[in-house]
Structure 1
Amino acid sequence: MASAHPNRPRPPAMLLLLALLHFSLGASKINCATPPDNSTDVLWLQAFKHGITSDPSGWFSSWNSSANHCMCSSSIGNLTFLRTLNLSKNSFSGRLPPLNHLQKIQVLDLSRNRLHDSIPDAITNCSSLRKIRLTTNFLVGEIPPKVGLLSNLSVLDLFANNLIGIIPPMLGNITSMRSLVLAANNITGSIPDELGKLTNMWNLALGQNMLSGGFPRCLFNLSNSLQILGLGSNMLSKEVPPNIGDDLPNLQMLVLYDNMFEGQIPASLGNATGLEWLVFKNNNLTGMIGEWIGKLTRLQRLYLQANSFIGPLPSSLGQLTQLRYLTLGNNKFEGPIPPLGQLTQLEGLSLANNKFGGPIPLLDQLTQLTYLDLGNNKFGGPIPPTLGNLQQLWYLDLSQNNLEGNIPIQLGSLTSLYKLNLSSNKLTGKIS
């Protein structure tokens, strides 16, 4: 369940996911031009120069009436020739600048500042807008439904603010929309069916809000375009539709963590062969993971921890040679671990808090591993000396198993190790 987000800025987490599901905001330099016949704009720009209280980089020191000018202040609403305004990654505070007369502006980027206003209805006067990026500010209030009148809009990015209310159904009128990012706010309600009309959408990021209801089946209308779907950290429930992999075959990232989804992971996801991220951690999912998982040969991140999965792991897991992170902890998996020696790109492996048995699997070929957690299982036998080959390891947890014998001297070669936990086993011999 998502919590309220009263304070900003947030830590740069998921951002998973985020980070995972939110993309580059562009360069911080200001991108605008003053037409030679628009002397009024020059006067306004010079007036803005006097409003700048801090200029540590000396950007404005050479400004005069004959210089090329760019915008950095609060009277931008009078620059009627402006096409692009990028003031991102600064420390501007206060309200959004007046936008009433910027009817030609196409790109508005005020990201990563300290603006705390609500989004005004007047933004709809900027009918030429194609991209709006207001991410990582302190914006409040609701998303104005009239934003749905901006028929040319392809990008709306309001990530990491304090916005409330619902997702306006009128956004479904912007059929040119390709990227809609409303993640990390306090938005409530269900995901409106009208979003199913956005058939050009490739990136939909609605995570870290308080959205409720079931999986939005309206998104199946986006089968030809949708590549990134981020719904993590909400209050969504019920089952993940069995046909999701058939109806969204072009998915590259599916992020559903921290919800209340039930039932099994649909086997149809094996048909979404372009998947690179599959994130289902912290739900109420059950059942076994089928052999279909081996079809996802592009998969780089598989996060299934903190559910109620059962049974042995599929042998086809060893076919996912592009995997970098595999986390299956806090489930009810059991049985031996299938061969993982081909997963040579693996950096993080967590199988903790399950019922896995047998010997510790041979992992000596996984030389990229930095994190290995096999704690709280039923592994027996000796600790494999070949773990000493994993020279990148900084975290190793083999605690709460049935391991026997001595600690291999080869573990002494793990010079990057930050944490070593071998507690609650049956180990003997001397500690050297």
Structure 2
Amino acid sequence: MAIPLSGIGFRLLKLFHVWLVVMTLLNVGTLSTATTTSSFVGSKTDRLALLAFKSKITHDPQGVVSSWNNSHHFCEWQGVTCGHRHRRVTVINLSSRGIVGSLSPSIGNLSFLHEFNLNNNTFQGEIPTELGNNKLVGKFPKELTSLSKLTYLVIQANNLTGGISSFIGNLTSLEVISAAKNPFGGSIPDTLGQLKNLRQLGLGGNQLSGMIPSSIYNLSFITVFSVASNQLRGSLPSSFGFKFHHLQLLQLQMNQFTGPLPLSISNFSELEQIQVEYNSFNGKITNNFGNLKKLKKIGLFRNNFGSGEPDELAFLGSLANCSNLMLLGMEVNRFRGVLPASVGNLSSHLFSFIFGRNQIYGTIPSTIGNLVNLTVLSMGNNQLTGTIATNIGNLQKLQRLSFAINHLSGKIPDSMGNLSLLNELYMANNRLEGTIPSSLGNCQNLLSLRLDQNNLSGTIPRELLRVSSLSISLNLARNHLFGSLSTEVGNLKNLGELDISEDRLSGEIPSSLGSCSSLESLYLQENSFQGSIPLQLESLRGIQNIDLSQNNLSGKIPTFLEKFSLMNLNLSFNDFEGDLPMRGVFTNASAISIAGNYRLCGGILELHLPRCTPKKSKPKMPLSHIIAITTASVLVGVTMVSFSIICWFKKRRKTQSTVSSSKESFWKVSYGNLLKATDGFSKANLIGFGSSGSVYKGLLDHDGELVVAIKVLNLQNRGATKSFLAECETLRNIRHRNLVKIITSCSSVDFQGNEFKALVYEFMPNGNLERWLHSSPEINNEQNELQRLNLLQRINIAIDVAYALDYLHHHCQTPIIHCDLKPSNILLDNDMVAHIGDFGLAKFCSEFIIPNQSSSIGVRGTIGYAAPEYGLGSEMSTYGDVYSYGILLLEMITGKRPTDSMFEEGLNIHSFAKMALPQRMMEIVDPVFLNNEKEEERAIEMAAATATNKTWEPIQVNNGDKMVECLISMVKIGVACSIDSPQDRMSSSSILHELHLVKHKLLQKRISD
């Protein structure tokens, strides 16, 4: 936020003269290998920036800037100093020149500037955001006391120390103090209570300790009171709710507060958010929240709330009057008692109801089925009993449902198949019985399903094994399931973990399990599987944990297991025989277990197996015995010859078939295969190209014809081989429904002997997002009609990409930074589901990276999308991906590329969008939204009807108003993701939360109409 300077002149820059030296926006590094071209471009940039600064000067009594003209090089202009070697502007010193005017944002383009002194002049207006990304150090200067008319003090996200100075209490005109994320230390000064005009107080993340001074409670105009993420202690006074009459936002989370929640909080009639999570508040909550009509969010989790009284959840009934309530978080407390039926009367806007890890008992009230807009319902880790009501199927917007670790019994309702949007379903550690309903096969968005440790019986439904979206875990362990594992399991190509251990399954391990190429963990132990380990499992190249122990498996241990990077391999208590392999995991005695296989031999010494010895030939018989046996065998032999020959031929054909099958299980492609698949890499099959290479559509012969996308790398491009290896390594370690799937790769030579490298991907019929956002001249009019994405489609694509980023940053074994997020790398499948592709620049994040940590690596990414800190030499980080995502989101809403020609002289897509919030929003959005209102209405109505199982009918609505709120929300998210300060950008989880809110609002608005 810029600091308004209107009415106070520019005396404040006396302060900035001391601190602007360390602005991170300004590059103070040296230019060691600059070329003539880059020097020329940089010099031109500096000159234009100075002229833009000059254009904002309205009065120049000493003629300083009026002398800035073409008669001299800008390094010779008054007040300007350049570096001797690179001839770039390093200092601007115009102190005490009597200059009047305002600041141009173009000063932010002076990338070598390290001192900017405008002391004792008369500048007005705002400090541009381009100059506001500071890393100020030191203490509060006493000179601030002269700013008697200062109304806004915004200094968040700097490195200020030495405590919050008490003299701030003398700045009695202050209305806003935003000082979050500074390591001040010390306590909150009592003198802040003198700021009677203060409306917003933001002191989060300041390392503050001690108690809140009682004088603070005299600030009756306060609307925002935020002291989160400190070490503050003490309890809130009982009169707390009578102090801040206009309070809207209360943030006390992540401190050391104790005591009860004051009853008087119920008097905050304007309150919208209560956040007291991560403290030690305790006692029974007896508040009547009925007066808080505007309340949207209550965060109580991770405290010690609860008294052990059976009625301590009665306060939930009063929340029925909070018609705007959207989130209620109560998990990790000591709440006891029965969940009241009144929860069914909670707000129709409630989308998140979380109260896991408490001591709540009794049954789940059937009225919970009334909360039809819930997207998250978490009830795990309690003491709930009884059955799951069938009306759970009414909650058709649920994406996460947890009943895990309770005492629930009865059957899993068939109606759960209605929850088609579910991503995560957890019902492990209960007493559920009966069969797994086949209706779960309707949940085609499931990423993770856990039904382990119940009393389920019957077979594993084939329909469940057809849910190809399962990518995190399918866990059915420790039940009473029987029968064989269907070959349908091969549909789970994206699955990371399969656990069906400790059941009663039998039959052979299906060879189709080899199609689950994303498996990392396979647990089949303690069943009755028989036969040998299928050779087709050789294709599980990413597998890390295998447990096949305590079955009836036999045959030899296949040598392909040597090739896997296994962390654990348990083959114990089966009937394997023969030589134990000697490479790979078999060289690590602590990583494998082969106990109870008494016919194994060999192996490393630490396994203590007997040595393998060749079979000894039997001693020769006397000639008389041989003659007698031969004579007696002739007749039998003659009659058996035909039978033996037939058996021999059958056995040979079976062996050949097995060998052939094993060879096919590992799919290799050659240059010739790809040449044929693309019709000689013809232009007709070219679907994309760039500096890294060209992408062709191809048709490969592999168990039938398979349409694929083939990326042929341009090996003349510097770093192409490194990019190839990086992409192979990255895609080998990840799997998610919103990431492009690699099928195979080719590293060979072409028919002229030149090096050839290519990657083969799953083909995406709808191309990339770039094509859908920006029509190309060569696309004819009929195709241009297809280049229109409605608002709902754009929201869904944004959510898909956010899910993929969240997975890469937080759910991979080693976090991954994509480094090149942009529309051309977002691919759309047949159902318009988005997939992130092109991992040629991706980087594994092996340890925590400080976003401003310097790096010698060149800038990764694409101009316009790459985070600004990368240009200053900062290390790649997840914050950089979030910045790129923010730019992508703004591009999706405005329809403008970040490199559009309109963005110059300090204007960029971030500031362009930010300036339009909120009144001028419809002036900047993609004209598609304005030109196709009827199509937008129809899309929204149909989606809303689908969400409520209602027949769509056209209705009259207020055009122009229906989308504005959602567009504003999306632009706010894009702006929050693309701010300059890395630590202040939104997290991927927050992005998902906010986007689901937007989608919910869009559909719910139409439903309510």
Do the structures match in fold with TM over 0.5? yes
Q: Summarize the Cα distance change of 1:242–1:41 in structure 2 as closer, same or farther, 3 Å threshold.
A: farther
For 1:41 and 1:356, the matched residues in 2 are separated by 73
* Letter of the 2:193 counterpart: G
Q: Secondary structure at the match of 1:196?
A: helix
The CA distance in 2 between the partners of 1:265 and 1:31, in whole Å, is 57
Between 81-90 and 265-274, report the one with greater CA deviation: 81-90
For 2:126, the aligned partner's letter is V
2:122 aligned to which of 97, 103, 111: 103
More helix by share: 2
CA offset digits 1:150-206 (Å, max 9, x no partner): 112111111112222211111111111111011011111111111111111100000
Given the alignment of the two structures, is residue 265 of structure 1 paired with residue 261 of structure 2, yes or no? yes
Q: CA deviation at 1:251?
A: 0.9
Report the equivalent of 2:435: 430
After superposition, the CA RMSD in angstroms is 3.1
2:56 counterpart of 1:33 = yes
Q: Kindly report which structure 2 residues correspond to 1:5-404, keeping only aligned pairs within 5 A, or say none.
A: 33-35=56-58, 40-41=64-65, 75=92, 77=94, 80-83=99-102, 86=105, 95=114, 97-110=116-129, 134=132, 136-223=133-220, 225-310=221-306, 311=309, 312-313=312-313, 314=315, 315-338=317-340, 339-340=342-343, 341-361=345-365, 362-404=367-409
Name whichever of 201-210 and 368-377 sits farther off. 368-377
Listed as ranges, the gaps of 5+ residues in structure 1 are 1-7, 10-28, 52-71, 114-133
- Paired residue for 1:5? none
- State how far apart, in whole Å, the 2-side matches of 1:283 and 1:370 are: 26
1:367: Cα distance to partner? 2.5
Corresponding residue for 1:120? none
Cα 1:407/1:150, change in 2 over 3 Å: same
Helix, strand or coil: the match of 1:379? strand
Supply the distance in 2 between the matched residues of 1:31 and 1:427 (Cα, whole angstroms).
76
Contact kept in structure 2, 1:367 and 1:389, CA below 8 Å: yes
1:333 Cα offset (Å): 0.8
Q: 1:158 to 1:86 in 2, by over 3 A?
A: farther
More divergent stretch after superposition (202-211 vs 294-303):
294-303
**C-alpha spacing 1:35/1:412, structure 2 compared with 1 (3 Å):** same
Report the residue type matching 2:124 in the other structure.
Answer: I
Distance, in Å, in 1 between the alignment partners of 2:53 and 2:394 is: 50
Letter of the aligned partner of 1:309 in structure 2? F
1:329 partner amino acid: E
SS in 2 for 1:172: helix
Assess if the C-alpha contact under 8 Å between 1:324 and 1:346 holds in 2.
yes
Say whether the 8 Å CA contact 1:182–1:206 is kept in structure 2.
yes
Question: 1:101, CA displacement in angstroms?
Answer: 3.4
Match of 1:372, SS?
Answer: strand
> Cα gap change, 1:43/1:173 in structure 2, threshold over 3 Å: closer, same or farther?
farther
Residues 269-292 of structure 1, C-alpha deviation per residue, up to 9 Å, x if partnerless?
A: 111211111111111111111142
User: For the Cα contact (< 8 Å) 2:404–2:427, is it kept in 1?
Assistant: yes
Secondary structure at the counterpart of residue 146 of structure 1? helix
Distance 1:95 1:266, change over 3 A: farther
Instruction: Give every structure 1 segment of 4 or more consecutive aligned residues whose post-TM-superposition deviation is greater than 6 Å.
Output: 29-32, 36-39, 87-91
SS of the aligned residue for 1:363 comes to helix
State the number of aligned residues: 362
**Structure 1 residues 45 and 423: CA distance shift in structure 2, 3 A:** farther
Contact 1:355/1:377 (8 A) holds in 2: yes
- 5+ long unaligned stretches in structure 2: 1-23, 26-51, 76-88, 439-1009
Q: Could you tell me whether the CA contact under 8 Å between 2:206 and 2:229 is conserved in 1? A: yes
* 1:368 to 1:321, Cα distance in 2 relative to 1, 3 A: same
Task: Tell me the distance in 2 between the aligned counterparts of 1:82 and 1:73.
Answer: 22
Query: Within 2, Cα distance between the matches of 1:94 and 1:376?
Result: 57
Structure 2 vs 1, CA of residues 401 and 35 (structure 1 numbering), >3 Å: closer, same or farther? same
Distance change >3 Å, CA 144–CA 391, structure 1 → 2: farther
Query: Cα deviation per residue 1:337-365 (whole Å; 9 max; x = unaligned)?
Result: 23123311112111011111222232233
SS at match of 1:200: coil
| Change over 3 Å in CA distance of 1:92–1:102 after alignment to 2 | farther
Contact 1:149–1:173, Cα closer than 8 Å, also in 2: no
| Structure number with bigger Rg | 2
